[in-house]
Every structure is written in C-alpha cells, then in structure tokens.
Amino acid sequence: MSDVVNLSRRGFLKAGALAGGGLVLGVYVPPRATAVDPPAAKPTTYKPNAFLRIGSDDTVTVIVNHSEMGQGIYTGLAMIVAEELDADWRKVRVEAAPADPVYNHTMYGIQLTGGSTSTISEWDRFRKAGATARAMLIAAAAAIWKVAPATCRASEGQVIHQESGLFLSYGELAEPASRLAPVRNVALKDPKTFKLIGKPTRRLDTPEKVNGTAVFGIDVTVPGMLTAVLARPPVFGGKARSVNKAKALAIPGVRHVVETDRGVAVVADGFWPAKKGRAALEIEWDLGPLATLDSHLQREEYIELARTPGAVARKQGDAESALAASARVIEAVYDLPYLAHAPMEPLNCVADVRPDGCDVWTGTQAQTLEHHAAAQAAGLKPEQVKIHTTLLGGGFGRRAALDCHFVREAVLVSKAVKAPVKVIWTREDDIKGGYYRPTAHHVVSAGLSPQGRPTAWKHRIVCQSFLIGTPFEAAIVKNGVDETCVEGAADVPYDVPNILVDWKQAPNGVPVQWLRSVGHTHTAFVVESFLDELAHAARTDPLAYRRELLANHPRHQRVLDLAAREFGWEKPLAPGRGRGLALHQSFGSIVAHAVEVTVSKAGVLAVHRVVCAIDCGPVVNPDSVRAQMEGSIVFGLSTLAHEITFALGRVRQRNFHDYPVLRMNETPAIEVHIVRSTDSMGGVGEPGVPPVAPAVANAIFDLTGKRLRKLPIRALDLKQA
Amino acid sequence: MIKLKVNRKEYAVDVSPDTPLLWVIRETIGLTGTKFGCGAAQCGACTVHLDGEAVRSCVTAVERAAGREVVTIEGLPDDLGMPLKDAWIAEDVPQCGYCQSGQIMAAAVLLRETTRPTDEDIDDCMTGNICRCGTYPRIRRAIHRAAAALSKGTGK
C-alpha cells in the first residue's frame, strides 16, 4: 500500500519551491523490506517531500532520489513518470533529491544507489507518482469545465475534453490541481499502451555534459571556500607520530595544517598551494601492522587458508564422495588481484560546518550514510545537516563508502578551520587510497563422468569481507557467509548433481569495497573459465557443453543462443583468430558475451569484437541498456590489464601509467542484442561486466592453448616461444 | 601578475608561475568545464587549446600560456563546437560525462586538421583521452558524424 499526499496543500508552495504556483506530489511507499539499519537511523517517518513538480510554465520536474553516475538513471526514472503522466517529454527536467527518509530505497531502507536496482526498485513508486498527478490534472480540468473526468483524457502535457474540443495545458492546471485532495488507487497503464517506456530515448543530461556546464562535486564553489589535500598514511592502518608543519605553512597560499584521524590536511587558497604544502610536510608515521604486507606473501597466506574447509555457501548432494568416485577429476587454482575503481572524477567533497549547521556537496551513492556520518563528525544533529548530491564523475561503487571517509574528511577539516573546505583527492591518492575490489584466491575441482559430464563441483573461495562488522552484516551475511563474496559461485546455474561451495574469510586490513558487479567480478571469471576447461576436457564445443548443462534454464539458453548466433559461432574464424564465450547471471539479468581475439608473437592481446546478448526483462530505455553493456565491456576489458599490488605495505601503483584502463585504440567493435523479454526486471549497470574477462580468457585458450588462471594478463604469459 | 587570454577575454592573474593552467582556469577564472583527472597528462580530461594546439592543462605551467590564446570547452567556437556537440547529442555519447569536455576539445583539433578522419586517425588522436564509462564506440561514431556534417556544410 502506498499513500499519495498533495504536498502543495501542505505549504510546500509557500516555502518557495515553486515560483508561480503548481502541483507538487509526494508519493510515499513504505519500504518493502528494511534491509539495513544505518547507525543512528530513526524509524521511517513521513516527511513532505516530492518526486514530481509541475510548474505553471508547463515544466515537469522529476525529483530523482538515485544518484546519476553515468548509468542514465535521471533519464530512466523521468521516463517512467512521464509515461504515466502523459507528459510532453520536451518539458521534462530532473532535479537531484535531498537526503531524506522519504527518498529511501524501497528495498534497502536507506537512500543508496547500487546493486543495479534503481529502476526495478522505483518502477512502482514512480509510475504511481505520474499516474496520480495525471488523474489530479484531469480532475482539475473536469471541475473547470464542469464535465465528468471520465470524458477527459491526457495527452502530451494537456488535458483534452474530446466532445467540446476544450484543452488546458498541465501548466495551466497545476495550480487548480494543487488545491485538490489526492486521487487514490489510480489505475496504471497497460504496458502494451506505453508510448515512451521501451523506446530508445536520448538522455536528458547530455546537453550540459557536452558544453562544460554540468556540475560535479569537484566543480562546487562556496563563498570563502578553501581547498585541502590530505597526507594519508603510506600504509593502511598507519598513524602520524609527529608532524612538522613549518615548511608547509611557509608556502604562499597555505593557511592551515590540520591533523585528523584520516591524515594530515593542508588547507590553502587553492589546489596547487595545498598540494605543494603537502609535499613540504615532514611527517613521521607509525606504519602499523600492515608495514610488511606483500602481495606474493599474501597469496601464500591465502593458499594456506584454502587448505581447510570454509563456511558453506551451497551444499547439494555430496560433492566430496562424488569427486572421489569420479572417473576423472579436474582441479584448478585461480587468482585475482585487488582492483581500484578509478572513476574519472577523483574523490572530493565540499563541507561547510558552522556552529549551527552543516552543508555537504558531493557526488555520493549513499546519502543516508553520509548524512549521519557528517552529523557525527560535525558534532551536530542530523536535522542540522544537509546533503547536496551533485552529478558523479563515475561511481562504480567507489562513492558508496560504508565508512563515509571522503565526506568525514571534509567535515572534520571544515570544522577545524571554521570555513567551507573542498577536499580534493589527487589521482595518486585515489589509486593508493584503498577501498578496493578484494583480491581473491579460488580452488575449484570437478569430477567428470566417462562421457565428460560434470558429476561433482567443488569451489572454495578465499577473500576479505567488507560487510562483516558493518550495519549491513545482518542483512547480507548468512550462516557465516558474506554473500557478496560467493555470489555468482554459490548460484552456479549449471546442472551438476553434487555441488559444494564454501568461503574462507581472509584477514582484514586493506580497506575493500564493492566494485561494479562486486563478487561476480571474480566468481564469474572462475566459473566460466573452469566450465570452459571442462568442455575442452570433454572434447565438446563450449557452446554445446553449456547448452546441455542449462537444459533447465531456458532463459539462460536463450541469451547464450542469441550471442552465439549473432557472433556467428558456427562459422569458421579467419586464421590466427580465437573465439570464446561466457554467460553469467547477476543482479537479476543474464548476459552472454562472445569475443574474437588475436595474440601477437610478442604476446600482445587484441580483442577485435564483442557480441553481447542480455535478458534484463522489461526495458525502460533500450539505448541505456546498450550504453551500459558497451561501458561494462570496456570496464571488464580493463580488468584484464590492471591490478593493485603491495610491497613493504605500500601500494605499488600510482596513476593511469601503471594502473592502465582501456583506451580508444584498444576498444573492440561492440554489438549489443537485447532479448525481448516479459520475465522479471533485472538491472543493467553491472551485469555486463562479469562475463567479459572469462570470455576473453576462453578465446585466448581457443587460439593459443594457454589457460590463463590469473588476472591481469601479461604479454609474457602469452609470448610465443 | 600573469596576463592570459582565455576564450577571447583578457585576464591578469596573481598566482605562482608554476601553477598548472588547469587550476587557474578552474579556480582563479572559474571555468569548471575543464576537468582534473590525473595531474600527469595521462587521461586528457583537462584538454584545452593553446594557440590552437590541444594541450594537457594539468601539466602546463600557467607562465607557458602567458600572452597566448587559451580556449576551453566553454569558448570552443561554434564552427567546430556546434557540429561536435550536436553529434555528441545525436549519438548520446556521455555517461557520467566527466571526461567529455576533454574528449570534445581533442576531437576539435582532429577535425580542424583532418576533414574526414579514418578510424586510425581517431585512434591516433583520441587514445590519450580516457573514458572510464567506456563511451569510446560512441565517441568514434560522433566524430565521424561531426566530420560528415562539416563536410556537407550543415554544421554551420
């Protein structure tokens, strides 16, 4: 059940939200499940807030509570409202919602953008917001014309009375509609009648993103604002033992040096003096227990951990006995590195802490968490703190920080210097700054029948958890297993009678976090590479092998078949070319990629073509689905090339020269095919990533006979003797 | 005081001469369309034109720009700017959008020098500009589209 409240009747107009009057609707839908209790969060209470405003100038403003980080959610959610509203799409605008419980995620119970859930979680609420407003506009027009509402209809921003030919625009009706009691239990459209939903639609935010006027967090300026950079410990968990500020303070433009629990901040008139000041700091660090961290030794430690059983994520049949009884056993070990998100906009946050209030401007994926963290750091009550969400110059999970560190830093520094402060991270700060995709060690084995069919599947995963010990633990950790560590492995779809998947928690220390498609980033690489190993061991075509094991998964088969058909799997490749495919379900969607590669004599890999098929259920904006698949493929190809490693506790990478990401000249031809589907709706921001790396690894095997079980791929591994 | 000409307007700025041009444009002059991405000429987000050449403003000391013509995304002349922006909109290129100012500034120099660039020309010119969202296929299409519009004269 959801309630609709006419906010215009609650004095919202008087607050100046709308010049010239208009209709403001708040649709309050109680969360379906409150999955998360953030620290200090109060029970959800209704507050007058709006998802939709209609101005007397005909402008329809959709207030979007999900952060726009490139995934096109501002456009997608606006399309849903506009469809049910019968709005004139040319008059639709989007505004970022403030942090407020009324904007909480309908599944997570806090305001958060993640898990590829924005569209599915708002589908009902945003449709209802649009439909209710349409019904009220019709009611307002009918009252003016003194006719029955049923004799009026809405179309492209107007209410029309068919018989008389009378019409009024939404702008003309906004003020009269704002005086009506909300219409309850409105009927939603039959999806067959959708005019906008399902049509490729250009994004609303493109014009401002091509002329330099789009405002990201780093572009925010506040009067009297200073700029800070922080010297953070060179080893995670380290602390400053002594700080000599003198040389930094002597640099023209440097105003303050502030010690915080996150590091030493140099606060200056601008970025350049702040950065020079930081270079001039003399700090003695206590490096802490990670001072000897070394990636090679860490792998040895993970191998040791993998020798004994972990917490069971899936147990079906008796994998151990079936393995012992198998005609043939295949075993393999896979290793994946820490990964940095490296969004193009380095992290930043503007905070203005005053004795009686605090404003925070930042591109965040987690408004509720930031809100409470900022209040705590400022020593203020949550109601004294305002979070202003800007556009995000990329998120990929990096801007959904569970400990809110990048907001806390700015609040702490602003409070200390009693002025608005913008903290800017350099690229080096970002690459070295942690909150990585965890490194993972996998041991996987399978027993094969004499015909080559898998009879047993045993998969052990060793990696860190970033949720145990956080408020999210209760919702996501089940029977000692952090689901984000085993997702994509525990739910392997292939028909194997005996399956055992378990997880060993690796020690904490290096800060880790979700990265676009989270656990699937490593589990899919292992599952889909290993399945390819089994297919080759069984001397069966990898496509046919998968199809046979997916007999009970017609939706998976359909996606696989579409990718294979469009790729031309049956046709022979040109000499010197290899092909591979991979299939993976995540975030409610199923994606398959078929790829074509070459490898030079020197071992340089080139990916020439990626054919992608996706079934994400009903589609709001097909062009957004395409864009997300293209972006996911590029993102996934980047994971073949980069890694974060440690020596003497320090991160060895610094910037894009040693943490390479895919560039224009390395980008393959990409084709995206969307399955026409009426199945349940899934996400699109993440599911395109997981099958990329294994599809390429499988293609490399097809071409060279070399099985790559470790990322990133090095030319040395592929060099021909 | 260092005298600068940015987007055909004169400025006198009081900053340390080693300050990168990027920060003068963004913080002193207040034009924030030019972005900070890496500070090391690795990503191209800060690309501006200096006397018509594409330069990485994050590693260009402001004193090097003294007395020369600086053009940023905000001042990109319409003869190249309009067809490029129109093509970017038609191909729905941006996702997060953060790198796109730099991409367009790099593409503008390509189109000024090469009326009908090949895919190889695009690779050569655009490989220094990173897009983490992966909009490369659309950038490529948009450049071809802008080039076609320019050669037809419809971009005016």
Of the candidates B96, B123, B113, B111, the residue with the CA atom closest to the CA atom of residue B35 = B96
DSSP state of A51: S
Count other Cβ atoms within 10 Å, centred on residue B14: 7
Of A210, A227, A634, the CB nearest to B88: A210
Residues A136, A64, single domain; the answer is yes
Identify the domain boundary among B48, B75, B102: B75
- B58 and B14 co-located in one domain: yes
Same domain, A155 and A72: yes
On whether both A379 and A273 belong to a single domain, the answer is: yes
Residues B51 and B19 in one domain: yes
Same-domain check for residues B57 and B12: yes
Q: A633 in a domain, yes or no?
A: yes
On whether both A243 and A128 belong to a single domain, the answer is no
Share the mean pLDDT of chain B: 96
Instruction: Looking at the structure, tell me whether residues B119 and B141 fall in a common domain.
Output: yes
Contact A393 B137 (CB under 8 A): no
- Pick from A424, A458, A474: which residue ends a domain? A424
SS3 call for A484: helix
Strands A477-478, A481-482: pairing is: antiparallel
DSSP state of A188: P
Question: Hey, are the CB atoms on B89 and A206 less than 8 Å from each other?
Answer: yes
Domain boundary (B36, B57, B75) is at B75
Indicate the residue of A68, A210, A270 with minimum beta-carbon distance to B89. Answer: A210
Residues 6 or more apart in contact with residue A221 via CB below 8 angstroms: A422, B30, B32
Q: What is the mean pLDDT of residues B41-52?
A: 98
Q: Which residues of A444-476 are buried (b: 16+ CB within 10 A; e: fewer)?
A: bbbbbeeebbbbbbbbbbbbbbbbeebbbeebb
Name every residue whose Cβ is closer than 8 Å to that of residue A567 and which is 6 or more positions away in sequence: A579, A581, A594, A596, A609, A611
Burial class (CB in 10 A: 0-12, 13-18, 19+), A190: exposed
Residues of B with Cβ-Cβ distance to A607 under 8 angstroms = none
Please name the member of B84, B104, B134 whose beta carbon is closest to the beta carbon of A635. B134
The CATH number linked to A640 is: 3.30.365.10
| Chain A positions in Cβ-Cβ contact with residue B18 (cut-off 8 Å) | 272
- Asked whether A412 and A262 are in contact (CB, 8 A), the reply is yes
- Please tell me whether residues B144 and B89 are part of one structural domain: yes
Specify whether A492 is located in the same domain as A373.
no
Question: Rounded to a whole number, what is the distance in Å from the CA of B152 to chain A's nearest CA?
Answer: 22
Judgement on whether residues B25 and B67 belong to the same structural domain of the protein: yes
* Chain A hits for B94, Cβ within 8 Å: 70, 203, 205-206, 209-210
Handedness of CA A208, A211, A215, A218 (dihedral sign): positive
Report the C-alpha gap between A209 and B94 in whole angstroms.
Answer: 7
Helix (H, G, I), strand (E, B) or coil at A276: helix
Residues B70 and B83 in one domain: no
Q: Quick one: B65 and B88 in the same domain?
A: no
Residue B120 φ/ψ, nearest 5 degrees: -65, -40
The answer on B83 and B69 residing in a single domain is: no
Q: How far is CA A411 from the centre of its chain?
A: 25
B11 touches chain A (CB under 8 A): no
Confirm if A99 and A41 have CB atoms less than 8 A apart.
no
Q: Which of A194, A210, A226 is the last residue of a domain?
A: A210
Cβ of residue B27 closer than 8 Å to a chain A Cβ: yes
- Mutation for testing the B interface, residue in A210, A399, A430 having most B CBs under 10 Å: A210
Tell me what pLDDT residue A471 has: 84
Q: Does B94 touch chain A (CB under 8 A)?
A: yes
- H or E element: which one contains A437? none
When comparing pLDDT for B129 and A49, which is higher? B129
pLDDT at A24: 61
Among candidate residues A278, A282, A279, the one with its CA nearest the CA of residue A267: A278
Backbone angles phi, psi at B77, to 5 degrees: -60, 150
The CATH number for B67's domain is 3.10.20.30
Domain that holds residue A105: 3-210
Q: How far is B44 from chain A (nearest CA, A)?
A: 10
Whether chain B has a CB inside 8 Å of the CB on A636: the answer is no
> Residue B84: which CATH number?
1.10.150.120
- A87 and chain B: CB distance < 8 Å anywhere? no
Interface contact B73, partner A, CB < 8 A: yes
CA A542 to chain centre: 30
Average pLDDT over residues B123-152: 97
pLDDT of res. A36: 37
- Give yes or no: residues B63 and B126 share one domain: no
Contacts of A210 in chain B (CB under 8 A): 84-85, 88-89, 93-94, 97, 100, 104
Q: Rounded to a whole number, what is the distance in angstroms from the first to the last CA of chain B?
A: 38
Residue of B nearest to A343 (CA): B132
Point out the domain boundary residue: A424, A445, A460.
Answer: A424
Q: Which residues of A touch B30 (CB under 8 A)?
A: 221
User: Which residues of chain A are under the pLDDT cut of 50?
Assistant: 1-3, 7-21, 27-49
Q: Nearest CB to A634: which of B20, B123, B136? A: B136
Is the backbone of residue A270 left (phi > 0), alpha (psi -120 to 50) or beta?
A: beta
**CA angle, A29 as apex, A27 and A30 as ends, to 5°?**
145
CB contact under 8 A, A667 and B127: no
pLDDT of residue A5: 52
**Cβ proximity of A111 and A366 under 8 Å:** yes
Task: Report pLDDT digits (tens) over A318-338.
Answer: 999 999 999 899 999 999 999
* B61: amino acid identity, one letter: A
DSSP string, A286-307: E--TTTT--HHHHHHHHHHHTT
Q: Which helix (H) or strand (E) holds B53?
A: strand B53-56
How high is the pLDDT of residue A180? 86
Helices (H), A111-198: 118-145, 170-178
Beta carbons of A238 and A286 less than 8 angstroms apart: yes
Q: What is the DSSP string of B15-42?
A: S-TTSBHHHIIIIII--TTS--S-SSSS
How many residues does this entry show for chain B? 156
Nearest to A664 among B34, B95, B127 (CB): B127
Query: Cβ of A344 and B104 within 8 Å?
Result: no
Of residues B20, B26, B126, nearest to A664 (C-beta):
B126
Q: How far is A707 from A529, CA to CA, in rounded Å? A: 8
The confidence score (pLDDT) of residue A46 equals 23
Q: What is the pLDDT of residues A543-596, one digit of tens each?
A: 999 999 999 999 999 999 999 999 999 999 999 999 999 999 999 999 999 999
In a domain, residue A316? The reply is: yes
- Within this chain, do residues A197 and A221 fall inside the same structural domain, yes or no? no
Residues A360 and A457 in one domain: no
Single out the residue of A703, A588, A497 nearest to residue A123, CA to CA. A588
Q: What is the pLDDT of residue B153?
A: 72
Domain count, chain B: 2
Range of the domain at B123: 78-152
Name the residue among B16, B84, B96 with its Cβ closest to that of A392: B96
Contact A430/A340 with Cβ under 8 angstroms? Answer: yes
Residue A357: C-alpha distances to residues A36, A375, A381 (Å): 27, 9, 8
Q: Do the domain assignments include residue A508?
A: yes
Q: Is B121 on the interface with A (CB under 8 A)?
A: no
Does residue B61 share a domain with residue B93?
no
Number of domains forming the structure of chain A: 3
Tell me what pLDDT residue A629 has.
98
pLDDT number for residue B156: 41
- Helices of type H across A402-490: 405-417, 427-432, 473-476, 483-486
pLDDT over 60 (residue B130): yes
A376 and A499 part of one domain: no
Residue A23: predicted pLDDT: 61
d(CA B52, CA B103): 15
Residue A84 in 3-state DSSP? helix
pLDDT for A22? 58
The three state secondary structure string of A315-353 is EECCHHHHHHCCCEEEEEEEEECEECCCCCCCCEEEEEE
CB proximity A631 to B under 8 Å: yes
Same-domain status, A531 and A450? yes
Residues B19 and B84 in one domain: no
Gap from A41 CA to chain B (nearest CA, Å): 30
* A241, part of any domain: yes
- B137 by DSSP, 3-state: which? helix
Please give the pLDDT value at position B128.
98
**Domain limit, last residue, from B32, B48, B75:** B75
* Torsion region of A340: left, alpha or beta (phi above 0 gives left; psi -120 to 50 gives alpha): beta
User: Is the omega angle on the peptide bond into residue A712 within 30 degrees of 0, that is, cis?
Assistant: yes
Residues A566 and A696 in one domain: yes
Residue A429 lies in a domain: no
Contacts of A391 in chain B (CB under 8 A): 96-97
Name residues 233-252 of chain A within 8 A of B (Cβ): 252
Instruction: Name the closest residue on chain B to residue A225, using Cα atoms.
Output: B27
Question: What is the pLDDT, as a whole number, of residue A11?
Answer: 33
Specify the pLDDT at position A39: 38
Contact A674, A578 (CB under 8 A): no
* Count of all residues that appear for chain A in the document: 721
B119 touches chain A (CB under 8 A): no
Q: Round to whole Å and give the CA distance between A201 and A623.
A: 7
Residues of chain B neighbouring A396 (CB-CB closer than 8 A): 132
Q: Which residues of A touch B40 (CB under 8 A)?
A: 427, 655-657
3-state secondary structure A619-648: CCCHHHHHHHHHHHHHHHHHCCCCCECEEC
Contact present, A88 and A121 (Cβ < 8 Å): no
Closest Cα in chain B to A202 = B92
Do A273 and A252 touch, CB atoms closer than 8 A?
yes
What is the pLDDT at residue A25? 55
Distances (CA, A) of A593 to A529, A561, A696: 13, 11, 9
- Give CA–CA dist A491/A501, Å, rounded: 9
CB nearest B16 (choices: A252, A343, A661): A252
Task: Find the closest chain A residue to B27 by CA distance.
Answer: A270
B36–A657 C-beta distance less than 8 A: no
Query: pTM of this prediction?
Result: 0.94
Whether the Cβ atoms of residue A322 and residue A456 lie closer than 8 Å to each other: yes
